[in-house]
Amino acid sequence: MFGPNSILDMAKGALLAHQACIQVTGENISNVDTPGYARRAVTLAEAGVINYTPGQVGLGVEATEVVRYFDKMVERLYYDQSALASRWDTTYASLSSVETMFNESDGYGISNSLSKFFTAWSNLSQSPEDTGSRQELLNSTDTLCSLLKQTDADLSKLQQQADEEIAQEVDSANKLIQDIAELNRQLNLYDQPGSNNANNLYDQRASKLRSLSNIMGINVIDNGSGDITVTTEGGQVLVDGVEHYSLEFTAAQTRTALTPSSNFDGEVFFTGNDTYEYTLQCVNDGYVSNGNAAQFRVSIDGGRTWLTDENGQEAHYSARPEDGKINIGGLTIWFGENGDPLGTPTGQMEEGDTFTIIPKKNVYWVKNTSTKENITPLTYANGDDDSKRITSGTLAGLFNFRDNYLGDYQDKLDALSKSLVWEVNRLHSQGAGLEKFGTTVGTYSVAHDDRALGEDSTGLVYGDKLQAGSSMFYVYNADTGLLVSGAALDFSDAAGVQNFDPSAHSLEDVAAAFNRTFNGAVTATIVNHKLQITAEDGYQFAFGTDSTGLTAALGLNTFFQGSTAQDIGINDKVGGDLDFICAGHVNGAGEANSGDNTISLALSELKDKSVRLSTLRDGVTSQTLSGYYNGLVGDVGADVSAAQYNYEFNAALANDLDSRQQETMGVNLDEEMTNLIKFQHAYTAAAKLVTLADEMMQTLLSLKS
C-alpha cells in the first residue's frame, strides 16, 4: 500500500544503495594505482514488487552484490606470454653481462692476445738467441693465459650467481604456492558467489598467480566455485584446491632405471662437474670389470641423440669399476655397488639399463618424500625444449643461462685451451733451446704407472693423441758441448729398435726405454706419477723429432702446462729460464745452433693451420685457433642478439595482453568521477525524497490539530 511510510522506506533503500555505490566508487578511486586491483561495481536491482492497486508497485532499489571486473580468458593467455617474456628478459639481462667479457670492439681481448702470441713467435724467428725477444714471447703468453683463466673464472662466478638466484626463485615459488593454497582455503570459507563475493581474495590470488607464472610458467584449471588447480606447463600439479606440493633445488645426484629383467646390483658414480645431464644406456650385456665389460652409450639430451666418436659412429664406453674409471666430457665415471663406490657389482648389466647422472644442482618437483621428478629445463640438440620440464619463466631463463649458454662457452674455451696447449707443445717438444737439460720432470701425470698410456683409465690427459713410432733423444758431453750419442728410444730388449705402442706401453715402459737406450748417461724415474729424466755427471741431454707425441703428452720440453682454460700456464722450466724456449732444433750434425729458428718459424705458422677442436655438444671441428675463438665471440653476440629480439617480441605481446586485461579491470578516473557525480545526484534526489516524505507526514499530522 502506498503512503508516506512506504515512500520513506523506498527513499531509505535508495539512500543506502547509493551510499554503497559511492563507497565502491570511492574504493575504485583510492585504488587507481594499486597493482593487481580489479575495479568493482555494485549491482543494483529492484527491491521487489507488490501487487496492489492501482497496479504493481516497486519497492525501490537494492544493492545486491559487488562484482569484480576481470577477464579470465585474457589472464590465462597472459600467464603464458608473461612467462615467456620473463624467461627471455632474464636470459637477455644475464647474457649482457657475459657479452662484456667477450667484447673486443676496443681492440683488447683474447683474440688480440692470441694474435700477439703468434707474432711474438714470428719475432723470435728473426733473432732466436735474443733475450729481449724471448722475454717478449713469455710476456705475450702470460697475458694470453691470464685472460683465458680470467674469463673462465668469471663464467664460473656467473654460474654460481645463477645458482643463488635460482635458489631464491625456488624459495619464492614455494612461498607463492603455499599462499595460493591458503587463499584457496580462505575462498572456500568466505566466498559465497552471488551474495558475498570475496573480491579482495580473488585479487590477491590473481596477483600471486601472476608472480608464480613469471617464475615458472603455469596452467590454471578452473574447477568451478572459485576452486582452481595450478599445474606447471609440463603437467606437474602445484596447487590442487587446498593441497599443495613444492619444488626443491638440490645438489647433484644419480639415478638408476633398470629394465624389468635386469638384476644389476650397482649404481653409477662420478666425480667432476659439467653442465649437461648424462644419460647412460647399456647396449651390450656384460659385467663391470677392467677387461671385457658391458658397453654403454651416452646422451646429453635425455636420450634423444647419442654421442658419436671422431669417425661419426656411436661412441661405446666400457663399464669399469673404480680403479679403471673413464673420462667422458667433464666427468670421471665408474660403476660401484649400491651405496659403496669402491666395491664392484657382481650382477650383470642388461641391455637397456639406463643410468642418469645429474652433476649440477637441479630443481625437482616433490610430490612426497619418495617421489621426486626432475623438472629442470632441458634442451635437445636441435634446440627444442623438453616439454615435460619447465620451459618458461625466470627459472627457465636462469637454468638455460647456466647450463646451455655458460656451459657451452666454458666448453669452447676449454676446447680452445686444450688444442692450443697440445699443438704448441707438440712442435715445441721436438726442438732444442739455447741450453741443454741437466734434469727435467714431465708436467702431466698418470693415475696408474703400469697401464698402457693410450688407455682411457690411465688418466693421461693427452693419452688419446699418442701414436706408434719413436722419439729421438740426444746426449751431450756437459763440458765440451759435443754430441755423445743420439738415438731413437728402444722399447724392448729384442734386436733392433722397437717402436712405442700406445696401446701396450705404460709409463714404466717409457722409463725403462730411456734407461735401456742411454744406459749410464741418463736415468729415468717415475716421481709422483710423472716421468723424471736426470743426466749423470758430465752429461746433458736434448730432445728431438718425435713421431709418437710422447714428449708432448708427458710434458717434457714443452712450452705450456695444463690443459683447460683454468690451468693453462707456461711450463715452470721455461718460465724460470728463457734459454729453454725452443726456437731451434737438433740438426743433422747433432748440434743445436743458436741461430736456428726452424721451430719458431713452425710455431708462428701454426696460426694459419687448421687444428682439431672438440666439444661434447658440437663434436669435432677443424679450424684455426683464432678462427675458433672469433667464432665463439660471434656465438655470444648472436645469442645476446637473439635473446634481445625474443625478449622484445614477447614483452610486446605480454604488454598487449596486459593492456587488454587493464581495459576490463583497470580504473579510469574520469569514468569514476562521472559515476561519482551520477551517484551523488541520485543520493541527493533520494534525500529529497526523504524530505518530501517527511513533509507529507507533517502535513498529515497537522490535519488533526
Partner 1 sequence: MRVTQQMLYDNYVRNMNSSLGKLMDLNSQASSMKRINKPSDDPSGMVRVLNHRDTLSAINQYQENIDTAQGWLNASDENLLQVSNIITQAKTLAEQAATGTLTSDNREQISYQVRSLFEQLIGLANLEYDGKSVYAGQKTDGPAFQEILWMSTNDADFAADTGFYIDGDSDTTILIQFYDKTGTLQPGESMSLSNANLGLRFSADGGETFTEMDVPDPAGGQVQIDLAGTGVRLTLTNPAAQVKLTDPANYNDAGGTWLWLRPSAQYMGDDSSDSGDVEVVAMGQGTDQLQSWATGSFGPNMTVRVDGYLSNGSLVRGPVTMGGQTMVYSYSTDGGVNWITGNVQAPNGVASNMSLSISGGLLHIASNGGNVIQAGSQFFVHARSSAIEIAISSTEKVRINEVGMDIFGGVYQDPDRTVDANGNRIHLSSQNSTVAFSKNGSSMLAGSNASPTKNLLEAMGNLIGFLETNNQGGIQNALASLTLAQEHVLNAAASVGGRENRLEVASTILDGLEYNENERISSIEDADMSELLTALSQQEIIYKAVLQSSSTIMQMSLLNYV
**Which residues from 394-453 bind partner 1, rule CB under 8 A?**
423, 426-427, 430
**Which residues from 74-103 bind partner 1, rule CB under 8 A?**
99-100, 102-103
CB 563 within 8 A of CB 417: yes
**Which residues from 145-164 bind partner 1, rule CB under 8 A?**
none
Strands 40-46 and 61-68: antiparallel
For the bound state, the minimum distance from the C-beta of residue 406 to partner 1, rounded and expressed in Å, comes to: 16
Distance CA 89, CA 215 (A): 12
**Which residues from 512-551 bind partner 1, rule CB under 8 A?**
545-549
CB 269 within 8 A of CB 335: yes
684 is an interface residue for partner 1 by CB under 8 A: no
Burial letters 130-160, b for 16+ CB under 10 A, else e: eeebbebbbebbebbbebbbebbeebeebbe
Question: Residue 430 or 440: which CB sits closer to partner 1?
Answer: 430
**Which residues from 215-244 bind partner 1, rule CB under 8 A?**
none
Question: Residue 119 or 515: which CB sits closer to partner 1?
Answer: 119
Distance CA 426, CA 510 (A): 18
494 is an interface residue for partner 1 by CB under 8 A: yes
For the bound state, the minimum distance from the C-beta of residue 525 to partner 1, rounded and expressed in Å, comes to: 24
Those residues whose C-beta lies under 8 Å from the C-beta of residue 247, and which sit 6 or more positions away, are 170, 173, 174, 177, 363, 364, 365, 366, 375
For the bound state, the minimum distance from the C-beta of residue 282 to partner 1, rounded and expressed in Å, comes to: 33
678 is an interface residue for partner 1 by CB under 8 A: no
With CB under 8 A as the contact rule, the residue among 255, 361, 607, 678 that binds partner 1 is 607
With CB under 8 A as the contact rule, the residue among 605, 653, 683, 694 that binds partner 1 is 605
67 is an interface residue for partner 1 by CB under 8 A: no
Residue 612 three-state SS: strand
- Residue 587: count other Cβ atoms within 10 Å of its Cβ: 13
Question: Residue 394 or 419: which CB sits closer to partner 1?
Answer: 419
Question: Residue 358 or 606: which CB sits closer to partner 1?
Answer: 606
666 is an interface residue for partner 1 by CB under 8 A: yes
Using the rule CB under 8 A, give the single segment among 17-25, 105-113, 165-173, 331-339 that binds partner 1: 105-113
For the bound state, the minimum distance from the C-beta of residue 101 to partner 1, rounded and expressed in Å, comes to: 10
Question: Residue 231 or 492: which CB sits closer to partner 1?
Answer: 492
Question: Residue 51 or 480: which CB sits closer to partner 1?
Answer: 480
Those residues whose C-beta lies under 8 Å from the C-beta of residue 462, and which sit 6 or more positions away, are 422, 444, 549, 552, 553, 563
Count of residues engaged in binding partner 1, rule: CB under 8 A: 98
504 is an interface residue for partner 1 by CB under 8 A: no
CB 332 within 8 A of CB 313: no
469 is an interface residue for partner 1 by CB under 8 A: yes
621 is an interface residue for partner 1 by CB under 8 A: no
For residue 465, which of 413, 422, 505, 407 has the smallest C-alpha distance?
A: 422
Tallying the residues shown for the chain, one arrives at 705
596 is an interface residue for partner 1 by CB under 8 A: yes
User: Per the omega criterion (within 30 degrees of 0), is the bond before 54 cis?
Assistant: yes
**Cα dihedral across residues 616, 618, 620, 626: positive or negative:** negative
Using the rule CB under 8 A, give the single segment among 126-134, 144-152, 182-190, 512-520 that binds partner 1: 126-134
